[in-house]
Amino acid sequence: MSVNGSAMSPVSPLIEAPRGLAGVVVTDTGIGDVRGREGFYHYRQYSAVELAGTRSFEDVWHLLVLGDLPDAERGAAFAARTASLRRLPDEVRAVLPAIAAAGSASGPLAGMRTALSLLGAAKGFSPVYDIDSARRREDTLVAVAAVPTLLAALYRLGCGLEPVEPREDLSYAANYLYMVTGSEPDAERARAIEQYLISTIDHGFNASTFTGRVIASTGADVAACLVGAVGALSGPLHGGAPSRALDTLDAIGSPDRIDDWIRERVLAGERIMGFGHAVYRTEDPRSRMLREIAQRFGGPRVDFAVQVERQVEALLAELKPGRELHTNVEFYAGVVMELCGLPREMFTPTFAAARVVGWSANILEQAEDPKIIRPVARYVGPPAPVAVPSAF
């Protein structure tokens, strides 16, 4: 068969997929997996929750991007190397005030999209299609190391405060808290945030990760891939729930209001933020870990959150029988971040400061595959072709 004398390859048959591509396997990965029915997820061959309990953020970053867990000597070298990349180029620093002012209503995460793009240009990032794996990996290290600096600076500028320069003697998590708050955090709070960051580095083919991989499949540079991932994360159905879950605690206010408040909203068909997950059919293991971290701090806020969790789960079981609706990562994430001194407008940006490592690992993996991701859509509009009516 030919068209205009040239060979025409056969067209593959269309394959119907469920809405949202739910349950559709689109590629192979060696980065990690989420086993929703078991309530378990892992980074490479290790339990993600166990890693959060026993390792540093830098060690897990090394695992995802370089492929293995380092020993103490290699881990220290990697931490020192990435810490040296935290400072921003002068070209980027100069425009951050304007970016912060322009995005004052939308916050640091929106500003980071612009700043990340500029960072890639200032650092000379090349399309991943044109460079080797070592250069791609180096570009991801530069970008990841800069993300906390960008987020903290944009937040402080938006509040009318001077940005705080990064310190190389602090860990990734401690330095992030230091740059946001202006004060060096105590060890307990730095470790709590570090455990949260580790637990959210990667989580399967979520919307932002898949977006980053689609862009990587085009051969675009690392900054472009990350900007797209950040855009997907900014949607409230993906990464925007930690502050909303905390808003739920505030709206309920006191234990005697829990039942009435929840019943009213469930019966009205509203979603209870912080409960339910697209993958897990058991308790979210990240929620369990973060509850334990919150309980280490203790206090009335934590006690109330635990009480709300128990009563809401009981009410959801009554009002939505047959549905497994438990707290997800956002519910206790908000509690922990608040306890550690992070403002609510920085909850989702903090999530991004962790997930950027997972995005990077996925971008590097996708860049090894020369096939562009190019699905099709089923046309359901008016029949074609129809003659175009004259404008005269």
Task: Give the residue numbers annotated as catalytic, written as ranges.
Answer: 277, 330
**Cβ atoms of residues 223 and 115 within 8 Å:** no
Q: Amino acid identity of 152?
A: A
Q: Which residue in this structure is represented by tokens 């209870």?
A: 272
Question: Helix or strand or coil: residue 301?
Answer: helix
Cα–Cα nearest to 220, from 118, 82, 120: 120
134 Cβ contact partners less than 8 Å away, ≥ 6 residues apart: none
Q: Give me 262's structure tokens.
A: 């929840």
Q: Which residue has the tokens 């950027």?
A: 356
Rg of the chain over CA atoms, in angstroms?
23
What is the Cα–Cα distance from 331 to 274, expressed in whole angstroms? 4
Can you state the percent helix, strand and coil of the chain, rounding each to 5? 60, 5, 40
Pair type for strands 6-7 and 40-43: unpaired
Cα–chain center distance at 369: 23
**Could you give the CA distance from residue 345 to residue 143 in angstroms, rounded to a whole number?**
22
CB 26 within 8 A of CB 211: no
N residues, the chain = 392
Distance CA 330, CA 336 (A): 10
Q: Say how far residue 82 (Cα) sits from the centre of its chain.
A: 20
* CA dist., res. 143 & res. 189, Å (int): 25
Answer yes or no: are the C-beta atoms of 65 and 208 closer than 8 Å.
Answer: no
The angle that helices 133-158 and 222-233 make with each other, rounded to 10 degrees, is: 50
The rounded distance, in Å, linking the Cα atoms of 264 and 218 is 47
